[in-house]
Structure 1
Amino acid sequence: MTVSHRLPPLKALQAFEAAGRRGSFQAAALELSVTQAAVAQQVRQLEERLGFPLFLRQRRGVQLSERGRAYFQDVQRAFALLREATDTLLSRRRVITVSVTPTFAAKCLIPRLPAFAQAHPDLDLRVQASDVLVDFAQDGVDLAIRLTRRPVQRGMTADFLFAELIVVASPTLIGAGKLPLDAAELARYPLLDDGQANWLAVLDGQPVLQALHMNQAALAIDAALAGQGVAMVNRRFVREALDSGQLLQVLAEPVQSDWSYYLVMPTRSRTDAALLTVGEWLKTLASDTLASV
């Protein structure tokens, strides 16, 4: 059996795949631990071998040509298969890094990591809790959950998770009185403000007598559980506390918000079965009906 002489060198294909994925010869060079000139030379040799340009050279980087884009998709799949085959051969667990907001981590994800690990022993899920915007390539992150207006970014997809806010309080704070509260009754309690709460929308002109400010929804929820004030939070984060009676919904109607939680990932990751598995699991954590894993 002979090897086809039309098959390009692996180094050239590797340089092309990295540059196509990163959109930059310089970024590809950093990833491959070579010089930018070496990446450019490998790509140029590959273009000469194929007989057509793979990239459009631009001042701020490179962009795949039309034929280059089609070739890139096939080459990327080929490298994915090689990585998968190697991982299988070495029986190595696939490492997947997820960046989520601190509140989502504390209230949704961390308590259910053991169940996920038991159900997916082949995946090593690593969690970063942060509100900072993610550079997927530079930060080594595979998926992210963020509180934002709908993200619009080239090469990314964003799946809506949830947005609805409700107003909750501990029964130790509001007592056994009649619910729901009206605006005047609500204004008498300390109001917990995590930056997302929109108290003006529900107070109907009533002045705020006391407000406690904090920078995380998780802190507002913990303060509400301790009876320190009334919180306006996403329903998903307090669902268990509502079911157990630790918190009560004190306003009948939810509050609309311009900010929503989204699952964000690079578009190219949509072909990665392991990442899709983790993404679907994260969606179950954000859903109204909680799955076991």
Structure 2
Amino acid sequence: MRLPSLNALRAFEAAARHQSFAKAASELHVTEGAVSRHIKLLEEELGVLLFRRLVRKVELTDQGHLLLPALAGAFAQIADAAGKVAAKKTELRVAVGPSFSIRWLVPRLHRFSARNLGFSVHLTTSDAAMSLVTDGSHDLAINCGCWPEPSFPKNVKKVRLLAEATTPVCSPAFAAAAGLDRPEKLREVELLHSSGDYADWSIWAKAFAETGVEVARGQIYPNRDLACRAAIMGTGVTIGDLALLGEELASRTLMVPFPDLVFRSPAHQYYIVVRKECWEEPRIAAFASWLIEERDASMRDLQAA
């Protein structure tokens, strides 16, 4: 048979649960007469009595007892699914590279939460942040783009957030003790690397070949964050990204000994990445707008320092 009226089924389920037409009417915000009419129509359509109408109450018939559990379970499943769908409107799944997450995003994230009460940000750190957006498992990524333009997937929209700016950094005490008054002194000090392939130092040394720095030496760490922490402790000089070191530079736990030797590559940019069809969703647009505001504020702070 065809599905009976959903309004009639809802009226029956509420009345059966309360054992009262009046209480069902109160729950459904309709009149008691409306509940009674819905149930009568349902009984006529099914061809059975679902309630025994007594003087001061109603009681379920055997047929009513048979129908109630199925309806109660169905309405509970509908309510649960609707709740999950509604929750997705305020849930934001964000994928970010580890260094950017630790050094830039996490220290600022409380400001987004304070402005957007009820939003739930689920943060994932990954070196493959963009792929987590393209596969649909995450809503937004902040990715360091190191490729030519055509390498971005066609189904994503990207917005430039920050430009990577790399240069040697160290603690002020280390610079003073090592006498880092000219770039050539880098040949004599301990170098701190963020990967075993010496990539950060190699890229910088190639850009400033006149320094003559031999990079294949020194201590190796698994990422930039740990290499910067070692530099703060005074163990050597590492390549830092100025876009991510605003706090350390402002507090003078790190310094830039050679401010004229900053490498800025058009190919190395931090991008906000979102699937094109999702860009205008309010929760995603709000987060992207906030990221850009924070970027602008951090740039002003860095210039002031």
TM-score under structure 1 length normalisation: 0.62
- 2:59 is matched with none
Match of 1:282 among 286, 291, 296: 291
Residue type of the alignment partner of 2:174: L
For 2:84 and 2:132, how far apart are their aligned partners in 1? Answer: 28
Question: Secondary structure of 2:117's match?
Answer: coil
- Size of the aligned set, in residue pairs, is 204
Classify the secondary structure of the residue corresponding to 1:219: helix
Structure 1 residues 91, 234: closer, same or farther in 2, change over 3 A? Answer: closer
The structure that is helix-richer by fraction is 2
Q: Secondary structure at the match of 2:239?
A: strand
Q: Secondary structure at the match of 2:107?
A: helix
User: Corresponding residue for 1:134?
Assistant: 131
Give the one of 115, 118, 121 matched to 1:122.
Answer: 118
Q: Letter of the aligned partner of 1:280 in structure 2?
A: S
Q: Does 1:94 align with 2:90?
A: yes
- Is 1:228 the counterpart of 2:239? The answer is no
Cα deviation, 1:65-85, whole Å, max 9, x if unaligned, reads xxxxxxxxxxxxxxxxxxxxx
Residue of structure 2 in register with 1:4 after alignment: none
Work out which of the residue numbers 103, 116, 138 in structure 2 matches 1:107: 103
Residue 171 of structure 1: aligned partner: 172
State the 1:88 CA deviation: 12
Aligned to 2:279, the other structure's residue is in SS state helix
| Code of the aligned partner of 2:217 | Q
Task: Report the Cα distance in structure 2 between the residues aligned to 1:211 and 1:120, rounded to whole angstroms.
Answer: 45
Partners of 2:144 and 2:85 in 1: CA distance = 39
Give the match for residue 190 of structure 2: 190
1:99-155 residue CA offsets vs partner (Å, 9 max, x unmatched): 000011111111222222121112111100000241426452001011222452111
1:190 Cα deviation after fit: 1.5
CA distance 1:91–1:206, change in 2 (3 Å): closer
Please tell me whether the aligned partners of residues 187 and 203 of structure 1 are also in contact (alpha carbons under 8 angstroms): no
When the two structures are superposed, what TM-score results if normalisation uses the length of structure 2? 0.59
Q: Does 1:243 align with 2:250?
A: yes
Aligned pairs (5 A) from 1:27-38: none
- RMSD over aligned Cα, in angstroms? 2.8
Structure 2 counterpart SS, 1:141: coil
**Residue 192 of structure 1: how far off its partner (Å):** 2.0
Q: Cα–Cα, structure 1 residues 190 and 284, in superposed 2: closer, same or farther, change >3 Å?
A: farther
- Counterpart residue number, 2:145: 148
Counterpart amino acid of residue 174 in structure 1: A
Q: CA deviation at 1:92?
A: 7.6
Summarize deviations over 1:209-243 as a string: whole Å, max 9, x none: 83222332212211111112212221121111111
CA contact (8 A) 2:95 2:132 kept: no
Does residue 1:212 correspond to 2:212, yes or no? no
Match of 2:208 among 202, 219, 231: 202
In 1: Cα distance, 2:288 partner to 2:173 partner:
38
Per the alignment, do residues 184 and 271 of structure 1 end up closer, same or farther by CA in structure 2, a change over 3 Å counting?
A: same
Q: How does 1:66-105 map to 2 (within 5 A)?
A: 94-105=90-101
2:259 equivalent in structure 1:
252
- Rounded to whole Å, the distance in 2 between the matches of 1:174 and 1:118 is 40
Give the match's secondary structure for 1:111.
coil
Alpha-carbon contact 2:193-2:218 (below 8 Å) kept: yes
Letter in 2 for 1:283: I
User: Over alpha carbons, which structure has the higher Rg?
Assistant: 2
SS in 2 for 1:164: strand
Consecutive unaligned residues in structure 2, runs of 5 or more: 1-81
Amino acid at match of 2:200: Q
Distance 2:137 2:213 in 1: 48
Q: % of aligned pairs identical?
A: 22
Quick check: 1:165–1:234 contact (8 Å CA) kept in 2? yes
